[in-house]
Amino acid sequence: MKSGFAGAILALVGAASASAADKPPMPEPSLEFVFEEEVLLAQSVTPGTTPLGGRNIIPITGGTFSGPGISGAVMPGGWDWQLIRPDRCVQLKADYFLKTDDGVVINIVNTATACRDAQGKPVPVRTHAVFEAPNGKYDWLNRQTFIGALVPGDAKVPSVRIRFYRVN
């Protein structure tokens, strides 16, 4: 009998076959566009270097998002915590709220690692987003896996743009 986390996962995916010949084929993941956001940022606060590396804290001041079936505003008050590692890569962890046009507030925690290649050019930044939506119209966000593609935003205001995709 399987127990704990592994047992729960196996029960969810229905993995009970004993022989390799009986195993179903492994499905290839695909991506489905969900929405794009532009997150407005304030000036960075630099607390200094810690034993783990340099720290930056960037306040999130607002923004907008839209996609098929979901749109609204990025609420002010979130933060983007950054750790500049000794290898010069930057670990990002942003925690903020979205408010849909129909008034639903959704928490998002978005993490990533941003690095440069051997020539010093930025490597594309991919994020992992976890949503916490209230029960109802948008609770599907709680039960899916999402990745994002992050790029700098409008050059006139400090911001980033992120396109989010559901992994199917």
Q: Mind listing the pLDDT tens digit for each residue in 33-53?
A: 999 999 999 999 999 998 999
More confident residue, 140 or 6: 140
Closest CA to 36 of 60, 81, 67: 67
pLDDT of residue 155: 78
Task: Name the nearest CA neighbour of 76 among 53, 97, 95, 55.
Answer: 97
- Give the three-class secondary structure for 165: strand
Residues 6+ apart with CB under 8 A from 120: none
In the Cβ-directed half-sphere of 18, how many Cα atoms lie within 13 Å? 0
Q: Which of 12-21, 55-64, 84-93 has the lowest mean pLDDT?
A: 12-21
What is the pTM assigned to this prediction? 0.84
Q: Look up residue 129 and give its two tokens.
A: 């987003």
Q: Residue 109 and residue 133: Cα distance in Å, rounded? A: 12
pLDDT digits (tens, 9 = 90+) for 49-88: 989 999 999 999 999 999 999 999 999 999 999 999 988 8
The pLDDT value recorded for residue 23 is 82
Looking at residue 15, what is its pLDDT?
55
| Nearest alpha-carbon partner for 166 in 95, 55, 68 | 68
The Cα 86–Cα 72 span in angstroms is 38
Task: Report the relative pairing of strands 159-167 and 145-152 from DSSP bridges.
Answer: antiparallel
Residue 68 pairs in a beta bridge with none
Cα within 13 Å of Cα(50), Cβ side: 9
Q: In this model, does residue 7 exceed pLDDT 80?
A: no
103-151 per-position pLDDT tens digit? 999 999 999 999 988 888 888 999 999 999 999 999 999 999 999 999 9
For 30-167, CATH number out of 2.40.160.20, 3.20.20.140, 3.40.50.300, 2.60.260.20 equals 2.40.160.20
Q: 2-31 in b/e burial notation, b at 16+ Cβ within 10 A? A: eeeeeeeeeeeeeeeeeeeeeeeeeeeeee
Question: Which residues, in sequence order, are bridge partners of residue 122?
Answer: 116
Per-residue confidence (pLDDT) for residue 72, from 0 to 100: 98
